[in-house]
A = this chain, B = another copy of it.
């Protein structure tokens, strides 16, 4: 039976892939990858290709959305791997790939890997089950500046829940939102919305390079965070809700006044 392996590469580099993921790459007839909303250390894909001893074909967003580009290759291949950063299947386009593969009678295997959705809470010391809905800050477009991310955070705060705030990644433009940029955007949203439990004094967590050896964590006020420098991407933000004393102790260990 033909098999499509959807393989997560984790959140760092070619060595954050699970052993089983590398096994599958070595057995594959063809390997595709997409990295358009994620970021791994430079050269990760090239080094993974060396480890697997095979070429990895990097796809554009259009190639992935038109699932035919990948699935059509089953005409001349039995085992195809599709690599994504983080954990696979989190993007809608991957779900379409999976459905279309199953419709063709192709077996779909899922090889899970680390994701920022659990890495950032863990590294920040906050408990996973106390997180509410996650939101994402997009780079503002001319004439389009929604404050809906702020609504999500406020709704979580009302219930005492933490909020993970992901920051825009436009890999094709080499554009990655930093935590300070994200903090500044949140302040603009507060201003636009007029009246919010969130303000320049609100304490929050900035996580830079979660999972990487040079990760950086800062617990500080929104106002101060918006003026800091935290080094290279990827970054994300967390707005803590009600804190357990042990959560507070971890946060205090990287507090910046």
Contacts and interface: CB of A to CB of B under 8 A. Distances in A.
A37 interface: no
Contacts of A88: 122
A89 B123 contact: yes
A161 B159 CA distance: 14
A117 B113 contact: no
B114 A113 contact: yes
A128 interface: yes
A22 B199 CA distance: 44
Given A15-B23, A92-B246, A117 B117 contact: yes
Please give me the 9 A-B residue pairs with the lowest Cβ-Cβ distance, nearest first: A89-B122, A112-B114, A15-B20, A15-B19, A115-B118, A87-B118, A112-B119, A112-B211, A129-B134
Interface string A113-156: 11101110111010111111111100000000000000000010
B111 A211 contact: yes
Interface centre among A17, A87, A111 (most CB of B within 10 A): A87
Contacts of A115: 112, 114-115, 118, 128
Nearest to A244: B92
Contacts of A224: none
A18 interface: yes
Interface stretch (A6-14, A27-35, A62-70, A182-190): A6-14
A56 interface: no
Interface string A87-106: 11110100110110010000
A110 interface: yes
A114 B250 contact: no
A16 interface: yes
A196 interface: no
Copies of this subunit: 2
A16 B12 contact: no
Contact of A112 (B11, B99, B249): B11
A28 B23 CA distance: 24
A18 B16 contact: yes
Contacts of A129: 133-136, 166
A123 to B, nearest CB: 6
A213 interface: yes
Interface centre among A23, A115, A134 (most CB of B within 10 A): A115
A253 interface: yes
Interface string A235-253: 0000000001011011001
